Amino acid sequence: MNRPFLIYGLSGLCLGGLILLALSLGVAGFGWGDHHTLLILRAPRVVAALAAGLALGVGGGAQQGLFRNPLADPGLTGVFGGALAGIAVLLTFQSEIAWRQTSVLPLAAFGGALLASVALVILGNNKSPGRLLLTGLGINAFTAAIVIVLATLSPTSRELLTNGAYGDWLGLAAFRFTWLPCTLCVIASLCLFRFGTAWDYLSFGPEVAQTLGINLLRTQRWSILLTALAAAAATCLVGQIAFIGLLAPHLARTLIGPRHRLMLPLAGILGATLLLAADTAGRTLWTSTPLSAAGVMALIGAPLFIWIARQHHV
Amino acid sequence: MSNPLVQLTAVSLEIKGRRILDGVSLTAHAGEIVSLLGPNGAGKSTLLKTIAGLLPQATGTLHVHEHDPRTTSPATLAAQRVYAPQNPQSTWDYRLSDLPILLHPRIASIDWFAHFQLAGLMSKKFSELSGGEQKAAHLAFSLSSLGDPYQKIILWDEPTNGLDLSRQHLVRTTLTQLAQAGACVLVATHDLTLAYATTQTAVLEEGRLIAYGRPQATLTPEIIQSTWGIDLSLLASK
């Protein structure tokens, strides 16, 4: 039996089953519920979790491929932080436009994510793997500080921003707002698949990659632009969420090997599965006090992160 | 004689105020194997990288396959030359069987992995191989990306470094075969056995080319004394 085929089949089945489960589980218990519950409450939330999870898994794998660092993850390197800070700036200074124009929020998030990515490349790249992560840590702390300061300044958006920082926005999902970020998640992920071979060659060092015909500057620019877009779109849907971008590609590599063309789509499927599972568990296990998807993810993800870090001797 | 595949005239390179290459002029044709020798830091690896097009800040005149590698696109250059660094690495733990797939749709006429005695290890991951086996795998990967060696340029940095005697011998015979098939080979090395198997030897010292010619004519006791500070007559008397 063809192993990649089997793994894709099984993970697809898992995800399909999980989608059905997520659609049929709610505060009222098990069941499809009425038309309103299914289509207005649950479906947008499930679609948002799937799209964001896809973008997180693929974006994480892309960032790891570009930086040649198994511990790179947009949540840890400050790119999500940048996206949230961009949203915070918009909500604080131009909140009326943000609610009238649905396209403005993703744009602000994209601006913030791109700024954070460029800072990461300029300050932390091409040295040691540790330096990249330390720089990301600094950017993360700085963007978090921006969000805290802005949330303090604007009482109207304080609750929204705090929920975003906790990764608790999936509950707000409504197709009216989420169709654009969802579409952007899918587009960014599909575009990122194209760079698989370039990141494979980069594994052997930038010099070998270049002599094999890769235009390094163009690859770097497009990878950063597209990972920032994926991170920004996912942030608009979920808020801040770490570890999926780290775990999904790592699991995919363990299951199917490190070749990016084969691994990245699986990382996307696994990212969607992880986020939907975390969100569904968070909202149904304790219905009186629902947990955010990011909270559930961090509970499982943080110990796994330490395990991966130990494996790679970073 | 045919046009040279590699032609350098007064090539210099400065990095952070330090002169790494100093007016190097060198010509190499298809069918030739040039060994670059010299002490650590003499500029051998830098010269290979300059020819490979990896150091666009180099000055002087460079013709590689009638292109200037500093301004030619990576894709065009990739069809003409291969480069293998001194210490190859891989961030991700590929299986050897992945490597030919990564090069798709390039087609090598020879199974270079089998040629380098790796046929039985194809299902292994890099992390499961010894250092010498990894090095051999990178050399095989490099040649697999080349396609037909005719009129191609092969730039290898210390190819025998870390290999056992059998694979060292294999590298020497392989280079000869490639040259006979019409390739132009340049290798940086400290391996004198390899140098004697080449058609030309270039000796570099502090970025300058101080001797160039047949290895027997170039590696004289005087050059070895002045470049490496080793007195061969003393060694012989012991």
- Size of chain A, expressed as the number of residues it contains: 314
- As separate numbers, helices (DSSP H) first and strands (DSSP E) second, chain A gives 15, 2
Q: What is the mean pLDDT of residues A89-109?
A: 86
> Whole-angstrom distance between the N-terminal and C-terminal Cα of chain B?
45
CA distance A100 to A116: 27
Domains, chain A, with CATH or none: 52-311 (1.10.3470.10)
CA distance A283 to A27: 8
What's the pLDDT tens digit per position in B121-144? 999 999 999 999 999 999 999 999
Which of B78, B92, B141 is closest, CB to CB, to A213?
B78
CA distance A228 to B75: 27
Centroid of chain to Cα B134: 17
pLDDT, position B183? 96
CA distance B225 to B39: 12
A245 CB within 8 Å of a chain B CB: no
pLDDT, position A314? 45
CA distance A253 to A31: 36
Compute the nearest-CA separation of A67 from chain B (Å). Answer: 10
Q: What is the mean pLDDT of residues B46-61?
A: 96
What's the pLDDT tens digit per position in A119-158? 988 888 666 777 888 888 899 999 999 999 998 888 888 8
What's the pLDDT tens digit per position in A201-211? 999 999 999 99
> Do the beta carbons of residue A266 and residue A139 sit within 8 Å?
no
pTM: 0.92
Q: Which residue of A has its CA nearest to B156?
A: A208
CA distance A268 to A249: 8
pLDDT, position B66? 86
B53 CB within 8 Å of a chain A CB: yes
CA distance A268 to A109: 21
* Strand positions, DSSP E, chain A: 25-26, 29-30
Q: What is the CATH number of domain B6-86+150-237?
A: 3.40.50.300
A200 CB within 8 Å of a chain B CB: yes
Q: Which residue of B has its CA nearest to A216?
A: B74
Q: Hey, of A211, A260, A311, which one would you mutate to test binding to chain B, going by the most B CBs within 10 A of its CB? A: A211
What's the pLDDT tens digit per position in B3-33? 899 999 999 999 999 999 999 999 999 999 9
pLDDT at B237 over 70: no
Compute the nearest-CA separation of B83 from chain A (Å). Answer: 6
SS3 B228: helix
Contact B85 A69 (CB under 8 A): no
Which of B49, B78, B88 is closest, CB to CB, to A204?
B88
